[in-house]
Amino acid sequence: MPADKPDSNPANKGEQPQQAPAAPANKPGPPAPPRKSHRRKIIFIILFLVIVAIATAYFFRLDFPYRWTEDAYVHGNEVFLVPRVTSTVVAINADDTDLVQKGQPLVVLDDSDARVDLLQAEGALGDTMRKVCQFYVNVVELKANVEARKIDLAKAEDDYHRRTIAQSGTVSIEDITHARQAMDTARDLLDVAKQELGAAQALIANTDLEHHPLVLQAEANVLDADLALQRTTVNAPETGYVVQRNVEVGQRVTPGEAMLAIIPLDQIWVDANFKEAELRFVRIGQPVHLKSDFYGDEVEYKGHVVGLAPSTGAAFSLLPPDEGSGNWIKIIQRVPVRIVLDDNSELEQHPLRIGLSMRVTIDTADHGGEVLTQVPSTNAVYATDIYSNEWIQANALVQSLVETNLQALANLASDSAATTVQKNGNIEMTHE
């Protein structure tokens, strides 16, 4: 290949070769690669803002006016069934998880001893009424005796005065002395008869046969014996479910010993334990929404606050904290808040069990209510009438026994009156 020829133009000697002309400025270039670092920075900024928002909502309580906690549990009445008499168990009519109705017999005790005691008390009542009836008869007899002694005294006084006014010599001094002694004796016998009458009247003063103290005492013994007999059958005081059965057939039970427990599921409430700082605006009457882990978020209960405990939960614990010790550490305390459910129909469809955990949310928007209960309770919160029925039955038995004995005594008096009329003619009988 031939060599290049030297440039013969003198003007171009010593000059550098000219460069090619630059490309136009508006000509589009190739696309720049994506900048991954810039995208990561945006993601980090968004995550940081989310964390800051969550922290702000927690520390500044952006969920106001709602206060919620999961430290809440279902509580309710536990009715322990205890015997009221000492006896041996012969039958058990319910076991754990069984539903029992109010008044249903649950445990049956041996009633042999109770029946014997009742028969003895009934017999003692009849015997006492007959003895007291004799008190009234004695008063009638003693009144008649007093009248007879008055007649004797009047006769003795008349004899004495007649002898003393007789002409001298017609009556001996010995006869006058005997008449005076007879008069004194009649007066003394009258005094004795009056004292006996007063003592007899004191036994029946201001009372009748039915209300005599001895009769009332005998009636009380019958009541006690009949109540003991009824209590050999232990009935359910409330409708509920049986738990903690620890009694067996043949076991000797004594009063105060728990045989089983009944849980009335319509007598439950929720105790929510809130922190001290969360109770600033919690008041009685505020609405509450509750959810249970047992049913999940699909079931929501509605209730309201009925009271705040006057102490923290740790104040009455087994080992209460000692604030006066040298090593002190601040511990945030929790205060129980009592909540009752408003809708019983929801509770019937989805019954709660004692001990279940709950999620509680209180709406504190209206915090004009009371912090503590200001009105004392005047009515019974819970009550049962099965024990008063026992008294009614025992009292009816006593009244029946009293009427039977009164009728027997009246028939005896009628027979005695008829016999007296047959012997002595028409004699009017009076009953004191």
Residue 273 falls inside a structural domain: yes
Residue 419 belongs to domain with CATH number? 1.10.287
The Cα 293–Cα 296 span in angstroms is 5
Asked whether residue 355 falls in the same domain as residue 402, the answer is: no
Asked whether residue 286 falls in the same domain as residue 354, the answer is: yes
For the cut 50, the answer to whether the pLDDT of residue 14 exceeds it is no
Backbone angles phi, psi at 58, to 5 degrees: -75, -45
Mean pLDDT of 338-363: 92
Q: Which two tokens stand for residue 216?
A: 């009332």
Band (pLDDT 50/70/90 cuts) for residue 31 is low
Asked whether residue 377 falls in the same domain as residue 408, the answer is: no
* Confidence (pLDDT) at 148: 93
Residues with Cβ < 8 Å from 90, sequence gap 6 or more? Answer: 108, 109, 110, 249, 250
Give 287-309 as a DSSP string.
EEEEEETTTEEEEEEEEEEEEE-
Q: What is the CA radius of gyration of the chain?
A: 52
Alpha carbon 402 to chain centroid distance? 34
Domain count, the chain: 2
Domain assignment of residue 215, given as a range? 113-230+387-423
Listed ranges 38-52, 87-101, 166-180, 323-337; the one with the highest mean pLDDT: 87-101
> Which of 329, 350, 331 lies closest to 341 in space, CA to CA?
350
Asked whether residue 363 falls in the same domain as residue 411, the answer is: no
Task: Let me know: does 103 contact 233? Beta carbons within 8 Å.
Answer: no
For the cut 90, the answer to whether the pLDDT of residue 357 exceeds it is yes
Residues with Cβ < 8 Å from 112, sequence gap 6 or more? Answer: none
Asked whether residue 350 falls in the same domain as residue 402, the answer is: no
Listed ranges 168-182, 259-273, 370-384; the one with the highest mean pLDDT: 259-273
More confident residue, 280 or 28: 280
* Confidence (pLDDT) at 15: 47
Asked whether residue 305 falls in the same domain as residue 350, the answer is: yes
Residue 17 falls inside a structural domain: no
Listed ranges 27-31, 366-370, 413-417; the one with the highest mean pLDDT: 366-370
Asked whether residue 168 falls in the same domain as residue 268, the answer is: no
The Cα 173–Cα 160 span in angstroms is 11
Band (pLDDT 50/70/90 cuts) for residue 2 is very low
Backbone angles phi, psi at 174, to 5 degrees: -60, -40
* Confidence (pLDDT) at 167: 57
CB burial class (10 A; 0-12, 13-18, 19+) of residue 290? Answer: buried
* Confidence (pLDDT) at 42: 85
* Confidence (pLDDT) at 424: 45
Helix, strand, coil percentages for the chain (3-state, nearest 5): 40, 20, 40
* Confidence (pLDDT) at 378: 86
Residue with token string 């009017």: 428
Residue 105 falls inside a structural domain: no
Band (pLDDT 50/70/90 cuts) for residue 13 is very low
Residue 196 falls inside a structural domain: yes
Residue 37 falls inside a structural domain: no
Asked whether residue 403 falls in the same domain as residue 376, the answer is: no
pTM (2 d.p.): 0.71
pLDDT digits (tens, 9 = 90+) for 242-275: 999 999 999 999 999 999 999 999 899 999 999 9
Asked whether residue 122 falls in the same domain as residue 198, the answer is: yes
Residue 188 falls inside a structural domain: yes
Tell me the pairing of strands 296-308 and 268-275.
unpaired
* Confidence (pLDDT) at 98: 96
* Confidence (pLDDT) at 85: 96
Band (pLDDT 50/70/90 cuts) for residue 415 is low
For the cut 60, the answer to whether the pLDDT of residue 176 exceeds it is yes
Instruction: Supply the mean pLDDT for the chain.
Output: 84
* Confidence (pLDDT) at 405: 92
Band (pLDDT 50/70/90 cuts) for residue 177 is confident
* Confidence (pLDDT) at 423: 44
pLDDT digits (tens, 9 = 90+) for 48-106: 888 988 877 665 555 568 899 999 999 999 999 999 999 999 999 999 999 999 999 99
Asked whether residue 362 falls in the same domain as residue 273, the answer is: yes
Mean pLDDT of 415-424: 50
CB burial class (10 A; 0-12, 13-18, 19+) of residue 173? Answer: exposed
Band (pLDDT 50/70/90 cuts) for residue 6 is very low
Residue 259 falls inside a structural domain: no
pLDDT digits (tens, 9 = 90+) for 387-400: 988 999 999 999 99
Task: Let me know: does 357 contact 292? Beta carbons within 8 Å.
Answer: yes
* Angle of the 213-230 helix axis to the 112-164 helix axis, nearest 10: 170
* Confidence (pLDDT) at 55: 76
Residue 98 falls inside a structural domain: no
For the cut 90, the answer to whether the pLDDT of residue 123 exceeds it is yes
Residue 343 belongs to domain with CATH number? 2.40.30.170
* Confidence (pLDDT) at 317: 77
- Give the whole-number percent of the chain exceeding pLDDT 90: 56
- Give the whole-number percent of the chain exceeding pLDDT 70: 83
